[in-house]
Amino acid sequence: MLTLDAEQTAARSWFEHLRDRICAEFEAIEREAGSDAAFDYIAWDRTDPSGEPGGANDGGGGVRGVMKGKVFEKVGVNVSTVGGHLDGDFGKTIHGAGEDPRFFATGISLVAHMVNPHVPAVHMNTRFLVTTKRWFGGGADLNPPLPVAGDTADFHATLQAACDAHDPAHYPRFKAWADEYFYIPHRKVHRGVGGIFYDHLEGDFAANLAFTRAVGEAFLDVYPRIVRRRMNDAFDAADVAAQRNWRGRYAEFNLVYDRGTLFGLKTGGNIDAILMSLPPLATWE
């Protein structure tokens, strides 16, 4: 087992608690739609290259949760707590790991792809990393195949309120960061309608954990509200075609540019958990 200090334990506990609440809310939405779909949870272990599971160099692990239902075509909610040593060149790209390859990371990662094209897909991830530095990162962004201005405004307003309660400078900075990050250069389009993205938030652990908690609470507040607002909207074959074509763009971003995907692959994470962000059906025309 990994040995965790008080800060690492507090961060891990929050991410697991948030996972439980999100999954319960998503299952409640399925019940409202007349579905008995529920999350399947699969635990996985990570072996650090220099050790064996359960030994001094145990690399930790996580739990992959996936549900396929009447409203959620495919939603994954993963938590992981891992540690060990980063590979040479890759390690040098990670904040604070250039001088020492040892690392610790704990976090939650969520991606939902929806049955109804009028219900936006969504991504949310928050994490706590330790190298020679300690920092939080993450955010949430909305990815509608068929954007609705009111849903976009609601999503952003809820995230802004969470940001403003901690630092009025957070929202404009983190919104701009999301706009820059969630961009597909070879398509010259954004992946969705944005949200917030932050990284390397270090210094006051308690304050930064409180902000990261607020981001999770904001997501849990706004996204189920949007799902319930749109999940019974009528749709046709043209809407589905637009959804699947858009999903191709989403897959391109996650496979080519997403840093979380690269981090998981480079650190020996669970392949199914890393690639759970990919949609169940997509098209390229």
Q: Are strands 183-184 and 134-143 parallel, antiparallel or unpaired?
A: unpaired
CB-CB neighbours of 149 under 10 Å: 8
Nearest 10 degrees: Cα torsion 92, 96, 97, 102: -170
Which of the following is catalytic: 123, 156, 170, 190?
123
Beta bridge partners of 197: 139
Long-range residue pairs from 205-208, CB within 8 A, at least 24 positions apart, any chain:
205/7, 205/134, 207/166, 208/135, 208/136
CA distance 37 to 18: 20
Q: Which two tokens stand for residue 50?
A: 């220099």
Is position 123 annotated as part of the catalytic site? yes
The C-alpha angle 237, 242, 246, rounded to 5 degrees, equals 145
276 close to 78: Cβ distance less than 8 angstroms: yes
Q: Give the catalytic positions in this structure.
A: 123
